[in-house]
Structure 1
Amino acid sequence: MIKYLIISTLVLSCISSDLDLNTFSNYLEVRINHLHLEWLLDLDNKLVNATAEYQIKVLRNVDHIDLDIYLLDVFNVYLLNGNPLEFQIQVIRNQTLVQGDKLVIKLDRQYKALENLIIRIKYAYTDKARAAGFLTKEQTQSKKVPYMFSQCEAIKCRSLMPLQDTPSVKFTYSSTVLSKDPLIKVFMTGHQVDSLQLIGQYEETRLYQYSFKLDIPIPAYLIGIVAGEVEQRNVGGNCYVISEPHFLEGYAKELEELPFFLEKMSEYIGPYIWGEYKIVVLPQSCPFGGMEHPLLTFASPMMIVGDKSGVGIAIHEIAHSWMGNTVTGNNWSNLWIMESLCVFLERKTYQFVRPKDYDVIEAINGNIDMIEDIEGFVDPEKITYKSLHPNTAWKNPNDSFSLVPYEKGYQLLYYLEQLIGEENFKFFLRSYLDYFKFQSIDEDDFYKYLLRWVRQNIQDNQQAIINEIILIYKPWVYDLGLPPRQFSQTTPKYQQAISLANAWIQNNEQPQNANEYNDYMPNQQTIFMQQIMSNWEKLTNSKIKALDDFYKFSGAKQGVQIGFKWYRTIVLCKYEDSFWAVRQFLQSIGVRSYIVGIYEVLIQNYLNLAKQWFEEDKYLYHPLVSNKVQDMLNKAGIFE
């Protein structure tokens, strides 16, 4: 959490009881206030030559600066006047490939608290940067030029630049990106502005310059870049879609409701403060569902289904404009502060933009998947991942990511809303955002502010409400496993889908109401498919064939969650007649969780086939995905 002391009219962050254990930086002694980047792209060689300039505030007397790095080539460090500074790279407890290393910069003298200084670092990064996804031109739709995109969450930003890679530190930001090829266009976090003055001198006679600026402070993980043959199109109001040109018209049509989503969300939670809203639909190899960079959301093409049923990803990422980007958890043990509040706002928005009970079905699906994740954390090293406040010390915090911070946190917020009242909770959230605006906080900050707000604003049954919050809040956050209050959301549409699935599972004949499935909401169809998958051991090949013959699931254009559950069922049931569709599905997506989930059951049941498919298709995947599957195959090979 960030507290504030007023010293000589300056507001400075000071020590927190909930520190970030996943940074090697000395962020309690010095603080980056502004970051400027200058990058020269060489995408053909998967190389970026870079200079970073840091405006730094000294918080305590200090003679050095420690920054996070990951496999960067650091060439020199110097002051604004050109004087060089000594530096060294320190390896901490064999963390080089886990969290990276520490860049220790020796300053020219001891600096006192409240002083300012500016330093510059010249460095380069390559495809070793785990935040960077480099695609060859052959992997793009037009096959004309290479493509690059980034994914910095959680602690990958240190592979793109040396910095204080912690959500506890927020800074304003600017950048200039130079391209040698006119076909390669660049979009980056922030507002595009006229050319900024260059720091470096370049031998190339013709460079194409793209500059960006953001005056709202953000943490490092929200910096994002996409570069390649990309175009943008306005879909109404302040909303834009960006993609490869071939797909732009179709994507823009699928996402034409963006202004409506933004309007309805703003009506509930308050004004959208960031200006434009742009969403980049990345190429197929995108390893994640979405990423909420301010003014530049990234999304997987898996959300483009054709019937607008997959655009919930966009609604979730829009919600991050308030929850996470404006008020941020101060470390990765407090990821739930970003994600659960975002899920809550996303589902609240569904009440205005989707059919009745769509939000309830989302919550039910989320609860099912959360329980599966909780039950999957059996490794003693990962046991704390069952809580809302996992221990990420000496680990890559990405390893702790699951549906627990999303859904267990959402259920806490939903319970609080029921306790306080729907309208009251809306005003609490607005007040919370205003009070902590642009700050990074921990779970205790949220807790104390919640109690204070209730005492000041709730009259009826106040003490009983306070007593219940005190009773359940800390156990909800820190205890392992399911929440202390039972999940209670329900709708007849849930039981309707379960009953239809059971009719298929338990009987040898086609149910009379089989056509009912086609009228379900997409997430209600997911409930049906979850029930089918959960009962795969009861399904004969003849039943699988009957399901497929009637609904044409195999090879269909459908929501990725439905497809994922169907194809896992196909493999688990060893229904080889549809393996062609399983392969097609694996070749058509890039999201890590879905590819890993299919390969998990393939490896268990068809190891040699899994090896063959992966060897032939691994070029389609982002390194984060291919490395994970290769590791699974290697481990499975040991026990053959």
Structure 2
Amino acid sequence: MNTPKSLFYLILFIMAGCAQPKEEKAIVYSYVEEPHSYAKPNNAFINHLNLDITVDFENEIIKGKATYDIVNNNSTQIILDSKHLDIQSVMADGKETEFSLGANDKIMGQPLTITIGKNTKKIEIVYKTTKDTEALQWLKPEQTANKTKPFLFTQGQAILTRTWIPIQDSPQIRMTYEANVQVPKGLMAVMSAENPKEKNENGLYHFQMKQAIPAYLIALAVGDLSYKAISERTGVYAEKSMLNKAYDEFSDMEKMVSAAEHLYGKYVWEQFDVIVLPPSFPFGGMENPRLTFATPTVIAGDKSLTSLIAHELAHSWSGNLVTNTTWNDFWINEGFTVYFEMRIMEAVYGKERADMLALISGQDLDDELENLKDTPNATKLKLNLKGKNPDDAMNSIAYDKGYLFLRTLEETVGRDQFDAFLKQYFKEHAFSTMTTEKFVTYLKTNLLEKNKITFNTDEWIHQPGVPKNQAIITSDKLKNVENILQDFIVNNNFDKEVTKDWTPQEWVHFIRNFPATMTVEQMKKLDDLLNLTNSSNSYIQMVWYEQALNHDYHGKNVDAKISEFLNSVGRRWYVETIFKAFKRNNRMDDALKIYEKSRPKYHSVTVKTIDELLGFEPDEEVIK
């Protein structure tokens, strides 16, 4: 086809204009100010991490290289979070570059500032952990179930991932990741990613997490592990001596996943596995995507404590899929998750069991409100944690007040409407973060105003305590427990047969409600009848040992049993409850004597809490 000459020159002129280099304009990102991270993500942020690390049990360090793909908004520097790390070298665009570590903050660590070019898309850091790294717990063989090989696990929430990876450690910054992890032969490595099902010969494992997650959900465990599938997408990892127990205990996992999907939409993480960690794990569970970390204390032999698994599964939507933007919004993760947990438990095990769990959750909330009565601002859902460790806010307010707020909303608007609202909420905000203010706006627009409903949202979120218009939860079974206890207190009557079908929730409700006037003789009578000091259920043990301390009961060698419990369980909730009882009952000498022996067995998260509770100041040489 022929083209007129004038048109030909016009085309050349236009093409030449298009070919001229244009100055890149800065893109406006909407990351909010972060009180617990040094990162400035509106300037530059990580969107993919590639780890190449070696796990060195002999020296108790992780060492290697982290490579990052970054989104660079015409910035000449990127800032990461680092705490107790040895940063050895940094490269940008394949060349060594300048970096500096700022002043150290006890809570936040140090800002790692790296010089980059305006077009830099990749940086690389060679580093290793140190003896002070808080996220890692290195366990000797005797501290494991099999007692033959060492074990390592990480705990990143809230801001501890920066202690084993230099990272932008903010929940609002999401990234994909992959990793090559070299471990000693005979051990298996697993992560919050696509995982192996068997050990390999060379101890080198490759991982990939294709969905973007915040840094606190990057997790690693290394040990003498085996795997047993429950269904095509669920299964358990554990040391061999624990594997069949874990499999039996968690055999309803597929039912839970199906129930959760029916409620609030597709499970998007493909695999839902659970790893049972050694007893020093500081939490009940941790919702690391694809691989929930769990304490062995939930293995009771009767599936009676598996609400914890329902809770961590619920995090696959609330927390992992829709994440609190900052730790000031922590209730956005946990209040929703407790609500969802109860709904899963109701779907799988029935309303009566779910309501018992909810009532005990309410008791935990009442206790927390009493503990915080002198700091009422700490009982608000929306917090201001600037200058504070976000771990200190991980209490019953976020969990149980958050749950009660959502339960009250459900009863106000109706379950069907509330379910439809939540399903849409998770769908519209998948793989994003949520502030309290943004959620309130969404709630008002899509549920309350839409249905002409008036609700005191501000009072629930921004005021101390719990509003009067809270949902009223009842349980016939727990009411019956109260009647049995009252009969025993008044008439000293107790028929052991009434307890034969009790759930742990009924036992806990019974024991927790012992009055202050209960005598040592009455404690002894119950212990003789029910053998509570030697219970095999960790939850029952915790509340019974607390009451033994409260009532100065020393029968059945209970003091030795309490010491044994504190030396074999590292779950912070359990440990803190019992040490608080020692302190409350003026037995600090006994508490400190036990703690000096048990402290080296605890994870740093538990250690920090108990050190502060007991005013314990260790020598520098004492191992965490």
TM-score, normalised relative to structure 2: 0.90
What amino acid sits opposite 2:48 in the alignment? H
2:382 aligns to what? 389
Among 286, 293, 311, which residue is 2:288 paired with? 293
For 1:574 and 1:438, the matched residues in 2 are separated by 51
1:164–1:149 Cα change, 3 Å: same
Given that 1:127 and 1:134 are in contact with CA atoms closer than 8 Å, whether structure 2 keeps it comes out as: no
Cα offset, 1:280, TM superposition: 0.5
Cα offset, 1:289, TM superposition: 0.6
Cα offset, 1:207, TM superposition: 5.1
Are 2:587 and 1:584 aligned?
no
1:408–1:289 Cα change, 3 Å: same
1:609 aligns to what? 590
| Structural RMSD (CA) | 2.3
2:10 aligns to what? none
Cα offset, 1:313, TM superposition: 0.9
2:474 aligns to what? 490
In structure 2, runs of 5+ residues without a counterpart are: 1-22, 619-624
Could you list the per-position Cα deviations for residues 369-397 of structure 1 after superposition, in whole angstroms to 9, with x for gaps in the alignment?
112112212565xx432111121101110
For 2:113 and 2:374, the matched residues in 1 are separated by 35
2:102 aligns to what? 90
Q: Give identity over the alignment, percent.
A: 27
2:412 match: secondary structure: helix
2:410 match: secondary structure: helix
2:82 aligns to what? 69
What amino acid sits opposite 1:142 in the alignment? N
Alignment coverage as a number of residue pairs? 589
1:341 aligns to what? 336
Q: Which residues in structure 2 correspond to 1:447-458 (within 5 Å)? A: 447-454=440-447
1:504–1:583 Cα change, 3 Å: farther
Among 425, 430, 437, which residue is 1:437 paired with? 430
1:53 aligns to what? 67
Among 373, 382, 399, which residue is 2:392 paired with? 399
Cα offset, 1:311, TM superposition: 1.2
Q: Which residues in structure 2 correspond to 1:508-587 (within 5 Å)? A: 509-511=492-494, 513-532=495-514, 535=515, 537-558=516-537, 560-577=538-555, 578-587=558-567
Which shifted more, 577-586 or 146-155? 577-586
Given that 1:99 and 1:395 are in contact with CA atoms closer than 8 Å, whether structure 2 keeps it comes out as: no
Given that 1:572 and 1:605 are in contact with CA atoms closer than 8 Å, whether structure 2 keeps it comes out as: no
2:6 aligns to what? none
Are 2:122 and 1:118 aligned?
yes
1:21 aligns to what? 35
TM-score, normalised relative to structure 1: 0.88
1:502 aligns to what? 486
1:75–1:402 Cα change, 3 Å: same
Given that 2:178 and 2:206 are in contact with CA atoms closer than 8 Å, whether structure 1 keeps it comes out as: yes
Q: Which residues in structure 2 correspond to 1:413-432 (within 5 Å)? A: 413-432=406-425
2:54 aligns to what? 40
For 2:27 and 2:396, the matched residues in 1 are separated by 34
Cα offset, 1:221, TM superposition: 0.6
Cα offset, 1:553, TM superposition: 0.7
Cα offset, 1:614, TM superposition: 2.4
1:521–1:359 Cα change, 3 Å: same
Among 16, 24, 45, which residue is 1:31 paired with? 45
Among 340, 355, 361, which residue is 1:366 paired with? 361
Given that 2:187 and 2:224 are in contact with CA atoms closer than 8 Å, whether structure 1 keeps it comes out as: yes
For 1:543 and 1:57, the matched residues in 2 are separated by 67
Are 2:136 and 1:153 aligned?
no
In structure 1, runs of 5+ residues without a counterpart are: 1-7, 195-205
What amino acid sits opposite 2:377 in the alignment? T
What amino acid sits opposite 2:509 in the alignment? I
Q: Which residues in structure 2 correspond to 1:114-193 (within 5 Å)? A: 117-179=121-183, 181-192=184-195
1:350–1:627 Cα change, 3 Å: closer
Given that 2:229 and 2:235 are in contact with CA atoms closer than 8 Å, whether structure 1 keeps it comes out as: yes
1:12–1:163 Cα change, 3 Å: farther
2:573 match: secondary structure: helix
Given that 2:321 and 2:432 are in contact with CA atoms closer than 8 Å, whether structure 1 keeps it comes out as: yes
Given that 2:170 and 2:215 are in contact with CA atoms closer than 8 Å, whether structure 1 keeps it comes out as: yes
Cα offset, 1:401, TM superposition: 1.2
